[in-house]
Structure 1
């Protein structure tokens, strides 16, 4: 008779309304699905993190977000095995004592974003952080990493923390962001400490009429799909290794439940990569009319704009704008609009099985036949064929050897 593994009751103390926490939880789930571990998981039904009464919880182990100081205090005297998850610290004394700790490598997150902006041809950089507070320790660590990297390269770091966002302070926060943006040298690359912070700054750029990425190239951290959906200009982002953190934390707790002593174990997990989108596709054009025009096209190409509307926005004649585009890009304004429409259609076709006619309308093509003709001319395939190829590519499994080689487990 097959012997079933011992079932354990495990609490997951995370705020599941945040993408970072959800990805960690997904990593824990992935570990459970690939092992014979049997865990009964406790997680608040609405995914919010509630601590009152946790000291009376009669379970077997806890995996918790130690970026939250309240969690650290609540679990300081826990008799249960605890694995902490959070951000890395430059000063080793800032880590919790005697608790195994799995960290996102804050220095490498910022370094990857910084190197990406350098590769985009930028030479000036700024950081959009958060006000200094115990709950924002992770943001302050990313700010420190930014300053360290720039001083290493003998560049003066420009850091702005701004206000914490709330309904009463929202307008004042945006006004201050606009003022800061106007004060910066251009062009400039800005690293925001999170996608939520990057989205706010992107809105401030829109309000101030500052071209993204022509004048400001902006990158966040988290790869949050919600942040991308709420912005007209798709936001580039560093992808945290949060799922790997979850798998690692689950593995450590599994070992502790089997008697291993892991006091003081620290594992730093590097970023998983970059999602490079329009907000950092900086091209150092010489003429401001081209920069302004592309900023307008990037926002409104899928709404069926014409060359005349772009010229009106820039404030020049159509012939003058066409001349600038031919000289700078080697293509017409119409071709540039069409290029953005095509990119938008490709992105939708690659990620969802939508109706081709609906996608054509949503991306600003006058008819599905016109989109079909553009795909055949530019890509040598129909929209349906492109969609099928993308689906097949997404279904290719990752070799087990590659997954094993990437694992940081001890």
Structure 2
């Protein structure tokens, strides 16, 4: 084992994202026999973090969210890696984080795949002077499909001066003015939970009137939201692992392969806040619901037609018009979504997962994964869940 090195982790410990980052960093140190001693304190997501003036160590992994921390790390010249979406100290301190633009595109594809044609974006009201590339990419992706995407963008200082109830009322009025149903992407789960609360105050139903997706997945925020909040799994384990790998290279004097390393998001974690098929044709919606409810079964198109009173031709035309894919492609998509959940949430072997997702043989699951996700089930699992 190499000599002990002190590593400061300026990362929040209160969210699923922060906890996953820390776990990924610890996994890297363990898997590579690095004798790292971690300096870490309990912190909230919006705590203003700084290195203690008396701290003496070897390297830092930090969510650099304000200029003072960026300037402190640059002046101290510790090897450091930024794991935040903020691009402070860009070109000086390397960065490893979830690819925010890829996360936004994943959200857009998710809503479009559910049949939504009305969209909106709720940005963070807690990040003044922040360039929201995540929101920009979502709105641009939706616009490229030919749909408008209004955003909730109150004046930051005026909004911050309101108490929490006044803020909720302003958000409720904005939601009430949207056409229904609308798919709303929120910057994060803090904002997403505020949207579900504002829906309740405005007498709107989620997901029937407003489907709400959080830009990250936080277990606690999801569970205490009413209804439980869907979110984007930003792959914090892999981000932490890769950030630690970058820091290790710097500590060892090796050149970085990538100065800015963007890790793709892992999946959408679907909870009740988006659990709706948004299609005006009731029979097509019934067909999509049947497919998703029976994704674990090895059923055929004929079985679907026996349950839904629609002709095969009408169903083919309707699926292509509203979803942009055939019923067979929708079945494969639903099975892959189920397989993704089982790969993330269980330790089942791939053979068992394939059987539980309607695939006769594991090779068919692997083939479908390669076609849809450009990876294999085993590699997908390794990417976000290092072995214990």
* TM-score where L is the length of structure 1: 0.65
Q: Deviations over 1:117-165 (max 9, x none)?
A: 111111010001124845644xx11121122212222322211034778
Contact 1:67–1:135 at 8 Å: present in 2 too? no
Distance in 2, Cα, partners of 1:277 & 1:240: 16
Counterpart of 2:207 in 1: which secondary structure?
A: coil
- Which residue of structure 2 aligns with residue 230 of structure 1? 224
Which of 373, 398, 402 lines up with 2:379 in the alignment?
Answer: 402
For structure 1, the 5+ residue unaligned runs are 288-328, 331-389
- Which residue of structure 2 aligns with residue 61 of structure 1? 59
Shift of 1:6: 1.3
Shift of 1:68: 3.6
- Which residue of structure 2 aligns with residue 325 of structure 1? none
Contact 1:104–1:268 at 8 Å: present in 2 too? yes
Contact 2:61–2:243 at 8 Å: present in 1 too? yes
1:10 and 2:7 are equivalent in the alignment: yes
Shift of 1:73: 2.4
- Which residue of structure 1 aligns with residue 207 of structure 2? 213
The 1:121/1:51 distance shift into structure 2, 3 A limit, reads closer
* TM-score where L is the length of structure 2: 0.68
- Which residue of structure 2 aligns with residue 154 of structure 1? 146
Distance in 1, Cα, partners of 2:34 & 2:255: 19
Distance in 1, Cα, partners of 2:177 & 2:127: 26
- Structure 2 matches for 1:37-52, cutoff 5 A? 37-45=34-42, 51=49
- Which residue of structure 1 aligns with residue 28 of structure 2? 31
1:196 and 2:193 are equivalent in the alignment: no
The 1:285/1:134 distance shift into structure 2, 3 A limit, reads closer
- Which residue of structure 1 aligns with residue 110 of structure 2? 116
Contact 2:119–2:182 at 8 Å: present in 1 too? yes
- Structure 2 matches for 1:81-100, cutoff 5 A? 81-87=79-85, 96-100=90-94
Contact 2:10–2:50 at 8 Å: present in 1 too? no
For structure 2, the 5+ residue unaligned runs are 282-307, 310-341, 351-375
Distance in 2, Cα, partners of 1:397 & 1:59: 42
The 1:52/1:177 distance shift into structure 2, 3 A limit, reads closer
- Which residue of structure 1 aligns with residue 163 of structure 2? 169
Q: Deviations over 1:309-330 (max 9, x none)?
A: xxxxxxxxxxxxxxxxxxxx99
Shift of 1:405: 7.0
Distance in 2, Cα, partners of 1:279 & 1:42: 38
The 1:85/1:397 distance shift into structure 2, 3 A limit, reads farther
